[in-house]
Amino acid sequence: MPLEKTDAIVLRSVPWSETSLVVTLWTREFGKISAIAKGARRLKSPFESALDLLSLSSVVFLAKTGDTLDLLFEAKLQRRFRSAQRGLLPLYCGFHVAELTNGFTEPHQPIPGWMDWLTHTLQALDDGCCPATTTLRFELHALRMLGLSPSWSQCVGCGESVDLDRPTVALTTSGGGVACPACSPLQRNVLRIQTNTVLVLQKASDSALNDLEFSIPEEARSETRFVMEHLLGFITERRLRLLPFLEELKR
């Protein structure tokens, strides 16, 4: 098989032997790949810092068939995301979006637009944009690109429009959206949340990549995180590892 060359963002890196790593990368053309980087743990590694987490690098790899790990031959650093210089919270948010990318996607299945949203999100965290807003937008757009975007205005039970003039509304994580008063008793995993929170989530989900005007009102931050933690937990069927480090997003 021929060698493939592409740009990649490092999502995960784990030791494979005394001298090598297994790295998980997200690429535009090939989607998620996991590859062995032989010699990457040596003091004088041929990959240098190109395999640091969240780095954007140009890589050359050999794709293997089946469940066999790919082989990484070359990685040259293009840029390093430096959100840690602004504080731990932006760094943890960057690790969180990397964890979501790794957990939501399947190997060698590219998703149009994902690379753009991922790089845009990491750049926004680098530039000092609000971590709460930046993270929420990535989470919701990730769900939309996967075809899992919740319904924010139509009942998941009957399909009718839900009255968003009420103070609160029912949202079911298992049903994937809001439910009207007649259907909500029939749904599972129902959360009763403020209607204003639903409107914030809907606006975030609909915002464009270059929309710099959207922001989360401070009074809605805690509940938006509450909703997203439940939605993401239901979809992934596990508690994401970075969530305990993101408590500050609720304030």
The answer for residues whose C-beta is within 8 angstroms of residue 78's C-beta and 6 or more apart is 7, 55, 56, 57, 58
- Domains of the chain, with CATH numbers? 3-79 (2.40.50.140), 88-149+189-250 (1.20.1440)
183 CB-side CA count, 13 A: 19
d(CA 119, CA 141) in angstroms, rounded, equals: 13
| 189 within 8 A of 174, measured Cβ to Cβ | yes
Contact of 125 with 93, CB cutoff 8 Å = yes
In this structure, are residues 244 and 186 in contact, taking their beta carbons and an 8 Å threshold?
no
pLDDT top residue among 235 and 1: 235
To the nearest whole percent, how much of the chain has pLDDT over 70?
Answer: 99
Find out whether 182 and 211 touch, Cβ atoms under 8 Å: no
Q: What is the pLDDT of residue 1?
A: 67
What are the pLDDT digits (tens) for 141-153?
999 999 999 999 9
What is the pTM (predicted TM-score) of this model?
0.93
Residue 40 has pLDDT above 90, yes or no: yes
